[in-house]
Amino acid sequence: MEAIGEHFFTVQPFEVDFRGRLTFPLLINNLLNAAGHHSNDRGFGIKQLNENKKTWVLSRIAIELTRHPINAEKVKVQTWIEGLLRSFTLRNFTIIGEDNKIIGYARTIWAMIDSESRKPINLTGMGLEQYVTAKDCPIDKAGKIVDPATGTTETFRVKYSDVDINQHLNSAKYVEHIIDAFTLHKFSKREIKRFEIEYIEECMFGETITLQKTELSKTEFIIILKKEDGSIACKSRLLFTEQTFNDKYITD
Amino acid sequence: MEAIGEHFFTVQPFEVDFRGRLTFPLLINNLLNAAGHHSNDRGFGIKQLNENKKTWVLSRIAIELTRHPINAEKVKVQTWIEGLLRSFTLRNFTIIGEDNKIIGYARTIWAMIDSESRKPINLTGMGLEQYVTAKDCPIDKAGKIVDPATGTTETFRVKYSDVDINQHLNSAKYVEHIIDAFTLHKFSKREIKRFEIEYIEECMFGETITLQKTELSKTEFIIILKKEDGSIACKSRLLFTEQTFNDKYITD
């Protein structure tokens, strides 16, 4: 099977935001679904891993966009493994619009862990090497995010539709809570140019999470999610554009 | 074009709940997407209506299930217009699993309104009659729901990922907030057998909504959403089964 996977999704009517564009958390969702299909098709998906009491844990995402998918647009996602370390895989993505132009790139880092001990598993010699491939992904890697320990805070409780099969806050739902900390005004004046998230601890069903938002400038924000015991669940950095994208792309 | 539309969706890895089944709000989302495709394909979709300053407004949903779609399952949705009244269309659905068995039915009621005056439009003589068709939908119509004016309350704020292109709480997100009022324990012991919702007023971005949950019995709940001015935004009734479904259906 080829090292680079191609997966398609079509933006559905009830998936667009107030601007008529695919919501940012659902874009992340679609990338993670593409990663799931790519690994399942090659024999190292969550389902196959679970049978051996192992699982994948998403550690980081960095994504940059130059345009957002719009309602009814058929989007192509390419995904591949760029590198394999002892405890991590580096999985990249290209996002291609229906006009056949690249509209974004993403880099992710994943660890494989033992489902019971939660300890990392050595990834070398498992047959993943055959899928490691070089392909252009011209965006910076996710950098270190420092908790500014300032900013405004709000809380949310982890609910039924937030959790995955492990009863933990679903990876894409972290992103939804982070994006929901902004007003519509923000998204009518600026765009997310770059988004980074570093997943640190799992949030459990029923837990009350504190979201701390720090505005470093009009175009740079740090958002930190903290668990009830004060430990950090994830750190995120958002860079916005100075102006909205000039994207007049219409599919018909 | 045929009166009955067929639409397919495949349950994606990041769309399943802690039981590995498509979440209930996302099932509703898929029905509404099917309705959108059905009406667009026949020339009376939201997009075509918007060009004439008209739009569809969802008034009611009643849905009954005998099984939930599972991860990776390819589901078929049939939808058709059962009846046309002066101000409403009656749109029904059949939900068919990958095993080709019917796993649910739904009934919905829609009004067409003028986008500016928000007044209902007379639907007769617009060419919709040609699509009205008789087909079996053996579930009761949505009944009248009375506000019990008792129960526990909690609040939520309408955020970015809640709203549609009109900056109103998206129809499927009402359902998500209602379902999220229950614990995982509930869904590990019982199933939603029947769900009804009556949409009354729109909830705006930034608005704080009060959710009132009343337990009539272990298997019957009424949930009412209220706006900041105390008016009712929607009323919902949930009937749960006594036991979980005995659904051992696996796709492979």
pLDDT tens for A206-233 read 999 999 999 999 999 999 999 999 999 9
| pLDDT bucket at A251, cuts 50 / 70 / 90 | very low
Strand partners, A152: A213
- The answer, for A161 touching chain B at a CB cutoff of 8 Å, is yes
Hey, is A143 helix, strand or coil? coil
What DSSP string runs through A218-247? Answer: TTEEEEEEE-TTS-EEEEEEEEE-SS----
Higher pLDDT, A78 or B1: A78
B120's tokens? 């209902």
Asked whether the beta carbons of A80 and A3 are under 8 A apart, the reply is yes
pLDDT confidence of residue B243: 84
Question: Does the distance separating the beta carbons of A184 and B160 come in below 8 Å?
Answer: yes
* A250 pLDDT more than 80: no
Beta strands in chain B (DSSP E): 5-10, 54-65, 74-84, 88-96, 102-114, 152-157, 192-199, 208-217, 220-226, 232-240
pLDDT confidence of residue A14: 86
**What ipTM describes this predicted complex?**
0.90
* Closest CA relative to residue B16, chosen from A55, A172, A106: A172
- The answer, for B20 touching chain A at a CB cutoff of 8 Å, is yes
Best mutation target, A18, A32, A50, A211, to test chain B (most B CBs within 10 A): A18
Strand partners, B89: B84, B110
pLDDT confidence of residue A252: 32
A27's tokens? 């874009």
Question: Does the distance separating the beta carbons of A171 and B159 come in below 8 Å?
Answer: no
% of chain A beyond a pLDDT of 70: 97
* A54 pLDDT more than 70: yes
Tell me chain A's radius of gyration from C-alpha atoms. Answer: 18
- pLDDT digits 0-9 by tens, A99-142: 999 999 999 999 999 989 989 999 998 889 999 999 999 999 99
| pLDDT bucket at B185, cuts 50 / 70 / 90 | confident
* A249 pLDDT more than 60: no
Q: In Å, how far are A67, A141, A188, A252, B134 from A103, measured between CA atoms?
A: 5, 18, 19, 18, 45
- pLDDT digits 0-9 by tens, B62-93: 999 999 999 999 999 999 999 999 999 999 99
Say how far apart CA A224 and CA A236 lie, in whole Å. 6
- CB burial of residue B141 (10 Å; 0-12, 13-18, 19+): exposed
What DSSP string runs through B164-192? Answer: -TTSBB-HHHHHHHHHTTS-HHHHHH--E
Hey, is B117 helix, strand or coil? coil
**Average pLDDT value for residue range B39-65:** 93
What DSSP string runs through B118-159? Answer: --B---TTSS-GGGB------SPPP--------SEEEEEE--
Question: Does the distance separating the beta carbons of B165 and A17 come in below 8 Å?
Answer: yes
Say how far apart CA B115 and CA B127 lie, in whole Å. 20
Taking all residues of chain B, what is their mean pLDDT, rounded to a whole number?
93
pLDDT confidence of residue A246: 65
Which of B15, B166, B180 shows the shortest C-beta gap to A160?
B180
Q: In Å, how far are A160, A206, B118, B180 from B183, measured between CA atoms?
A: 7, 8, 37, 7
On the CB side of B173, CA atoms within 13 Å amount to 23
**Average pLDDT value for residue range B27-51:** 93
Beta strands in chain A (DSSP E): 5-10, 54-65, 74-84, 88-96, 102-114, 152-157, 192-199, 208-217, 220-226, 232-240
A112's tokens? 């494989």
The CA distance from A72 to the nearest CA of chain B, in Å, is 10
pLDDT confidence of residue A247: 59
A-B CB pairs within 8 A amount to: 102
The rounded Cα A84 to chain-centroid distance in angstroms is 19
Say how far apart CA A20 and CA A243 lie, in whole Å. 18
CB A174: neighbour CB atoms within 10 A?
24
**Cα four-point dihedral sign B38, B42, B44, B47:** positive
Hey, is B30 helix, strand or coil? helix
* CA-angle at B98, arms to B92 and B99, nearest 5°: 105
Question: Does the distance separating the beta carbons of B167 and A184 come in below 8 Å?
Answer: yes
